[in-house]
Amino acid sequence: MVSHSGLLTVMERAARKAAPRLRRDFNEVQHLQVSRKGPADFVSMADKRAEQTIYEELSHARPDWAFIMEERGEIAGDPNKPRWVVDPLDGTTNFLHGIPHFAISIAVEEPRPDGRWDTVSALVYQPLTDESFWAERGRGAWLTDQRLRVSARNDLSESLIATGIPFLGHGDFAQWTRIFGAVAPGVAGIRRLGSAALDLAWVAAGRFDGYWESSLSRWDVAAGILLVKEAGGYITDFRGGDKMMERNEFLAANDALHNKLHKLVAGSLR
């Protein structure tokens, strides 16, 4: 059985400690669908409770590290040390509607001399399926103890592509429509499942052949980016560059498919 570092052990322990309450809350939220107010406030509390649990575990293990978290925002730490990037519930809208597709995402980023950050450890944990996708820089991507590789398909007509669709107050509808119009006619299918962290983990696992999305937060994608890279995939901005976070654009696939998708996506933006 493959072993991971002590740091990954800390991350997985934090995720697994938060998971039982998320599972209980998920079962409860389905009953709240009938209430007049709806379950939004309940889900917000579920999100915050999970984040608090993860924060306590991680800060106890590395008390001088900074955090970037969905609910709490940025928490300062030693600027010369790594930082945690945490999304305690990626796929909140799915959770809200009783759809069993969401995940906990935890990443560790190290500072670079140029002021940017590199992800060096990643975990995407699906509480309902007990799937633990993890990666460490230079050590590959894994699903528990199974090595992950991106899909080997190189024909767009056989490929299943994931995306995120803009919605109320989020995303660029015109840009997404242009990209969809360029990509959809040539592929076997396009899916929108509602969790960027799991989309990228599934690209790493070869379940999806490719993925594109924009208008995401760092905590949505930090872990997934490393998973794709360590599974042998490519992930860039829509222009094929490395300014994913700056441009808030993410395009992932294996080498051959990435080249083809990049031409379609970049061409649609001219």
Together in a domain, 227 and 255: yes
Give the Cβ contact number of residue 220 at 10 Å: 23
Q: For residue 41, what pLDDT is reported?
A: 55
CATH number of the domain residue 39 falls in: 3.30.540.10
Residue 1 lies in a domain: no
Q: How many domains does the chain have?
A: 2
Instruction: Provide the b/e sequence for 77-107 (b: ≥16 CB within 10 Å).
Output: beeeebbbbbbbbbbbebbbeeeeebbbbbb
Structural domain including 135 reads: 6-147
Together in a domain, 86 and 164: no
Q: For residue 89, what pLDDT is reported?
A: 94
Residue length of the chain? 270
Beta bridge partners of 126: 131
Together in a domain, 23 and 134: yes
Together in a domain, 30 and 120: yes
Nearest to 47 by CA among 13, 68, 63, 70: 70
Residue 46 lies in a domain: yes
pLDDT per residue rounded down to tens, the chain (270 residues): 566 789 999 999 999 999 999 999 898 876 654 444 445 555 678 888 999 999 999 999 999 999 999 888 999 999 999 999 999 999 988 988 889 999 999 999 999 999 899 999 999 999 999 999 999 999 999 999 999 999 999 999 999 999 999 988 788 999 999 999 999 999 999 999 999 999 999 999 999 999 999 999 999 999 999 999 999 999 999 999 999 999 999 999 999 999 999 999 999 998
Distances (CA, A) of 79 to 15, 32, 74, 109, 213: 25, 43, 12, 11, 30
Together in a domain, 134 and 208: no
Sheet holding 249-253, edge to edge: 189-191, 160-163, 210-214, 249-253, 234-236
Q: Please give the radius of gyration of the chain, using alpha carbons only, rounded to the nearest integer.
A: 18
